Amino acid sequence: MKTYKVGFLLIIAGFILSLIFAVLGIDKVGLFLFFPFIISTNPVSIIPFLLIFIGFIMLFISPIFVLRNEYENKYDDYYNNDIYQNLNQDKNVINEDKNKKNSFGGLIMVGPIPIIFGNDKKMIYISMIIVVIIILLYIFFIYHLL
């Protein structure tokens, strides 16, 4: 059975078991604003919460298993393809990839303090211009200058 189906079943089982405990009087159920809550002194009432918690964990983990199965099949098809074989034999394509230089830059605004980073002067200058524009817009909007 798929992991996401098991996760849904565990969550539903936890809610049903919690409802059964409330009907039997083991748990007391209430509603604060629109948030439901359960009060109990019986240690057995932890079982529905564990079922729900494990169900949510399985729901979060299930995409990993689904994607792994999909990519394992595509991975084999890719390397058995003739295009991949030709790319390995073509030396020009490999040399072109080695000559490319990647540049990056960015900024983080922590309140009014800008943090600028990058590996290329051009990207750093662009980030500095963006910071100046952001700070000017901030000043204009705060003091109603626009």
pLDDT in tens, the chain (146 residues): 677 788 889 999 988 998 888 888 888 877 787 777 788 888 888 888 899 899 988 888 887 776 666 655 555 555 555 555 555 555 555 555 556 677 888 888 887 788 888 888 888 888 899 999 988 888 888 887 65
Tokens 């079982």, residue located: 47
The rounded distance, in Å, linking the Cα atoms of 136 and 131 is 9
What pTM was estimated for this model as a whole?
Answer: 0.45
> Is 70 within 8 Å of 58 (Cβ atoms)?
no
Is the separation of the CB atoms in 40 and 22 below 8 Å?
no
* C-beta of residue 26 within 8 angstroms of C-beta of residue 45: yes
For the chain, the first-to-last Cα distance in angstroms comes to 61
Hey, how many other C-beta atoms are within 10 angstroms of the C-beta on 34? 5
Phi, psi of 118, deg, nearest 5: 165, 170
Dihedral sign (CA 10, 16, 22, 25): negative
